[in-house]
Structure 1
Amino acid sequence: MNRYCTADAALLFLRVTASVLVLLVHGLPKAIHYASQLDAIEDPLHIGKTLTLGFAIFAEVACPLLMIAGIETRLAALPIMLVSVIALGLVHREWTLDQGQFAWMLLIMFGTIAIGGAGRYRIAWRPRRSGRRQV
């Protein structure tokens, strides 16, 4: 196994495991328990609880699914990172490093994915370019 294949396998492992973790721990519980989450969620950017929760669900459900598939991986990592930064910087400013370690780990994992991309092991998805015939 050459080093590029190993790097691609490492990116696949990181992308899938980090995304499944966010999806199971944060995303699906928010989506499944939407009404109770709407009451509980904070609105640190003052854009409304519905929009705040909607963005959190997008970041923690849709983006991990895109990342698992390897579709627009670098772009999909950014909303997850943004939610983590908002949690650390605005919602839970009082957290010590120890208390915020999960959010810091998400920043590290998804920052690494944003830098490294999807790697070779992904679903090949590209929009058709107008005027060009696909062969």
Structure 2
Amino acid sequence: MAGSLLLLYVHGLPKVFHFSEELTRIEDPFGMGPYFSLIPAIIAEVICPLFIILGFGTRIACLPIIGVLLVAMLFVHPGWSIAEGQFGWLLLIIFTTLAITGPGKWCIGAGKQREWRHGIDQ
């Protein structure tokens, strides 16, 4: 959850609150235009962290985040040293681990997930 809060606060909310300004400065590594580069970033940095914080669809919510982080680290900032890109690489490690392991039993949605799984098993 801490990784989601950091991603939301540091990257996601500024993109939403300063949308027009972000359109003028967002990198466009694949030539799709700023709008089609900014919207996936907002989904990955605002919507997905909220799902993870709430404990719903955690593994699936990690996938867009991982995708945006990989694009940022490999295509937008390929020349960054480990020191310059450490925040991005750490987030990539956190969300990849979360995608593999799942949210755990302490997440908010854990009770619903257990109920759903037990209903299937019966």
TM-score bucket of the superposed structures, by smaller chain: 0.7 to 0.9
* C-alpha distance 66-91 of structure 1, shift in aligned 2 (>3 A): same
More helix by share: 2
Q: Secondary structure at the match of 1:83?
A: helix
Q: Would you say 1:97 and 2:82 are equivalent positions? A: yes
Query: Could you tell me how far 1:125 is from its partner in structure 2?
Result: 5.2
Structure 1 residue runs of 5 or longer lacking an equivalent are 1-15, 127-135
Which of 1 and 2 has greater Rg?
1
Scaled by the length of structure 1, what TM-score is found?
0.78
Query: Could you tell me how far 1:81 is from its partner in structure 2?
Result: 1.1
Count of residue correspondences: 113
Partner of 1:115 in structure 2?
100
Please show how residues 48-87 of structure 1 align to structure 2 within 5 Å: 48-87=33-72
Distance, in Å, in 1 between the alignment partners of 2:45 and 2:82 is 22
Structure 2 residue runs of 5 or longer lacking an equivalent are 114-122
1:46 paired residue among 20, 31, 46: 31
Query: Could you tell me how far 1:121 is from its partner in structure 2?
Result: 2.4
Scaled by the length of structure 2, what TM-score is found?
0.86
Partner of 2:12 in structure 1?
27
8 Å Cα contact 1:71/1:125 also seen in 2: no
User: Percent identity of the aligned residues?
Assistant: 46
